[in-house]
Structure 1
Amino acid sequence: MTVTAPAPEDVGHRTTEIIRQIRNYLEFPRLKEATLLYPECWATFTGYPIIAEWDLTLDGPPLFDEAIRVLALKTAVFTLTGGNESTAELAVAAPVDEMVHAVLAQHTLISRMQRSLALELVHMTDQEQFDYEPGCYTDACYQAAGWGEPNRRYWIGAQETTRRHTILNGLYASVGINPGGRAHRITFDVPEPALPG
């Protein structure tokens, strides 16, 4: 069933309430701390790496803020559409989406927060749109929430993402990693050191 997307102004107003609830949640500092540890365990070849001169120490905290904003925006649309998952799955730039995954990986804390705040955070890969471009509906909702223009360091459009993936895939191939990092031929065998004399 097709549902009309709510007006960005309505989404912005509802998002402001949701993000206030999330940021005031008692365990929010722990959520941020745990999320920023997550890339040490797992990160893709296609999300964060498309950021020019990516540095987790510098880029992690602002990306965390963007991920929380995205979850609040999606939750607002979900609420305003009576729970329509498809409409709520907004188009999001790849690096921001990767940080959303890192936030949601904090499953125990996120579950506790959702119960406490009576919110249902929305994110389903089978509903994701990979066509984010600056100026789209997501940007209109983002701006209506009072955040101004999305930071273009992280909010990279689909066409530019494709261009950067092409560059990355060439670099990955040069060290034996297949496109997107989905396979490689690295054996991890270490040659025996040569014996002296």
Structure 2
Amino acid sequence: MTTETALPAPADVAARAREIHRAWKADAEMTTVLDGCAKYTSDWDDFYGGPLISTYSVARDAVHLLDDALKVMALKSAVYELTGDELLAELPVPVPVDVTCHALCAQFTALSRIQSRTGHAFVHSTVNEHIVTTPWDAGDYTHQAYEAAFGPVNDRYWIPAAEAERRRQVLDGRYATIGITDRGMTSAIDYAAA
């Protein structure tokens, strides 16, 4: 559902996001979801999200990324609650945090119960991510709303667009040497029968 609504002021989104985040964190099942996500890292396979973080380790970085992901989800939900516009709510997010939002959203059943109890929907749309083509960048709307709601971003995870692309190009070169191209979408590896 989309409308021609404009984005609310970052301060308004921040105030609403703090309320939503507080309600989600107060739900008894949210600790289980976050702890489970942080421990179940074997399915955190991605080649262009987490590895953009210098000296990345999912075991070390998962808790921090999940914390940011939940805060970003609160921002998206705040925009949605204030506008009713799902497309507007698909805010650009730094790649490592966005990938973590996907891991968090995979906890569908538990998050559905939390949504029901708190009355706050988890708003995340991969379809709309492909429509919103402007990448996250330092100082943008998402950045302003996040800092107004939760304080400074962690530069380790909030990698600006130009630097994220530079790092992706480094990964492109490394992955190509083993036959992985097209940003991980194509493989030249032939798994012939033994």
Structure 1 and Structure 2 fold alike (TM over 0.5): yes
Instruction: Please state how far the C-alpha of 1:126 moved relative to its aligned partner.
Output: 2.2
Structure 1 equivalent of residue 145 of structure 2: 141
Question: Does 2:9 correspond to 1:3?
Answer: no
Structure 2 equivalent of residue 28 of structure 1: 30
The residue identity in structure 2 corresponding to 1:134 is A
Structure 1 stretch displaced more, 119-128 or 88-97: 119-128
The structure whose Rg is larger is 1
Structure 2 equivalent of residue 62 of structure 1: 64
Tell me if structure 1 keeps the 8 A contact 2:10–2:148.
yes
Structure 2 equivalent of residue 195 of structure 1: none
Q: Give matches, 1:1-197, under 5 Å.
A: 1-81=3-83, 83-128=84-129, 129=132, 130-145=134-149, 147-189=150-192
Q: Which runs of 4+ in 1 moved over 6 A?
A: none
Give CA deviations for 1:61-106 in whole Å, capped at 9, x if unaligned: 000000000000100110011x101111111000000000000000
Instruction: Please state how far the C-alpha of 1:38 moved relative to its aligned partner.
Output: 4.5
Give CA deviations for 1:6-38 in whole Å, capped at 9, x if unaligned: 111111111111111111111112101222245
TM (norm. structure 1) is 0.90
3-state SS of 1:64 partner: helix
Aligned equivalents of 2:186 and 2:40: distance in 1? Answer: 22
Give CA deviations for 1:110-156 in whole Å, capped at 9, x if unaligned: 111111111111111122235110000001111111x2221111111
Give CA deviations for 1:151-171 in whole Å, capped at 9, x if unaligned: 111111221111111100100
C-alpha RMSD of the superposition: 1.5
Tell me if structure 2 keeps the 8 A contact 1:172–1:179.
no
Structure 2 equivalent of residue 194 of structure 1: none
TM (norm. structure 2) is 0.92
3-state SS of 2:78 partner: helix
Unaligned segments of structure 2, at least 5 residues: none
Identity %, equivalent residues: 39
The residue identity in structure 2 corresponding to 1:9 is A
Unaligned segments of structure 1, at least 5 residues: 192-197
